[in-house]
Amino acid sequence: MPDELHNIREFEMKVDVRESESSPGQRSISLRYEGRVYHYRINEDSDGKVYVTAESKFGTLAELVHHHSILGDGLITQLLYPAPKHNKPTVFPLSPPDEWEIDRTDIIMKHKLGGGQYGDVYEALWKRCGMVVAVKTLKDDTMALKDFLEEAAIMKEMRHLNLVQLLGVCTREPPFYIITEFMSKGNLLDYLRNGNREQINAVVLMYMATQIASGMSYLESRNFIHRDLAARNCLVDENHLVKVADFGLCSLDEGRHLHRPRRGQISHKMDSPEGLATTRSAPSLMYGLSGFYCGK
């Protein structure tokens, strides 16, 4: 029985995935919960899929851990903090280092915040830093991996107070994560619809609008056009801090024309005729429409 699972007291539960001591060649999950240690064998079927319970099978061990970090599904409780590893060699010795890559076992999923066309967004804990983060995931059955990774690549280039900041990625193997700062008040559209009108007065609305404009101005200075600016894609934090988010349709301006995203993805309701024609005029009407929707 692993000694470190008994010696660590600062967390309610620890989890360790390792080769089984009683059955060499078999892997198991050792789970410490409320002072006791539970062991669960990780099985593998003829198709190479791994599972703890036969009803929930996965292509990789990372997917299995991700699933059980959200749902117990046969375990005494959901997985939370990984047990510490000592003197463990690097897993990817031949791969070039990526300063953005985060060990997925350091990300502890909490609850779902919302969902989109390509995946879901969760509130999570980045254990190493002790901070709450937002994690955007990619659905297993989607073919949008290229777009997902392109969004992460764009976010790596962006550094501005009024743009949601990328903190890291998990792109070595599925499930893929984009990890960003957590905005505690949710999206701007819901914040305005459900907020106190006495607190969100005309001065506050103007303050929010100037923050969005500042973020968009920065994007333009970097030759990027957002293409999906809307109140639902702006996030709010304490003290009415607003940041532009969701760069999935962002286009790079190279002179007079833009790299066009797939037409089916463009938000026709929020984009301008100029934007649909892929010229530099795109952000202006979108910003005006965002302000109109905010004030409704």
Residue 153 pLDDT greater than 50, yes or no: yes
Domain finish residue from 181, 207, 224: 181
Provide the number of structural domains found in the chain: 3
Q: Are 37 and 106 in contact (CB under 8 A)?
A: no
What integer pLDDT is reported at residue 242 of this predicted model?
94
Q: 135: pLDDT confidence band, cut at 50, 70 and 90?
A: very high
* Residue 93 located in a structural domain: no
Indicate if 193 and 276 belong to the same structural domain. Answer: yes
* Residue 87 located in a structural domain: no
Q: What are phi and psi of 64, to 5 degrees?
A: -60, -45
What percent of the chain is modeled with pLDDT above 70?
66
- Domain holding 54, by residue range, is 3-82
Q: Which residues are annotated as a binding site for ATP?
A: 146
- Tokens 């532009």, located at residue: 244
Residue 70 is inside which H or E element, if any? Answer: helix 61-70
Indicate if 177 and 265 belong to the same structural domain. Answer: no
pLDDT per residue as tens digits for the range 51-78:
988 888 988 887 888 787 778 888 888 7
Indicate if 136 and 205 belong to the same structural domain. Answer: no
* Residue 89 located in a structural domain: no
Domain finish residue from 118, 151, 181: 181
Q: Which residues are annotated as a binding site?
A: 146
Q: Which of 147, 228, 253, 271 is catalytic?
A: 228
Classified as helix, coil or strand, 274 is: helix
Q: 126: pLDDT confidence band, cut at 50, 70 and 90?
A: very high
Indicate if 62 and 143 belong to the same structural domain. Answer: no
Indicate if 221 and 176 belong to the same structural domain. Answer: no
Say what the pTM is: 0.58
**Alpha-carbon Rg for the chain in angstroms:** 22
Indicate if 196 and 268 belong to the same structural domain. Answer: yes
Beta strands in the chain (DSSP E): 13-19, 27-33, 36-44, 50-51, 57-58, 81-82, 107-115, 120-126, 131-137, 166-170, 177-181, 224-225, 234-236, 242-244, 251-254, 257-258
Q: Can 228 be counted among the known catalytic residues? A: yes
pLDDT per residue as tens digits for the range 162-211:
999 999 999 888 888 999 999 999 999 999 999 888 889 888 899 899 99
Indicate if 282 and 203 belong to the same structural domain. Answer: yes
What integer pLDDT is reported at residue 257 of this predicted model?
41
Chain-centre distance for alpha carbon 277:
31
CATH number, residue 214: 1.10.510.10
Structural tokens at position 103: 């060990």
Q: Is 181 exposed, middle or buried (0-12, 13-18, 19+ CB in 10 A)?
A: middle
- Tokens 């008994």, located at residue: 6
* Residue 88 located in a structural domain: no
Pairwise pLDDT comparison (248 vs 157), residue with the higher score = 157
* Residue 96 located in a structural domain: no
Q: Are 215 and 160 in contact (CB under 8 A)?
A: yes
Structural tokens at position 191: 């914040």
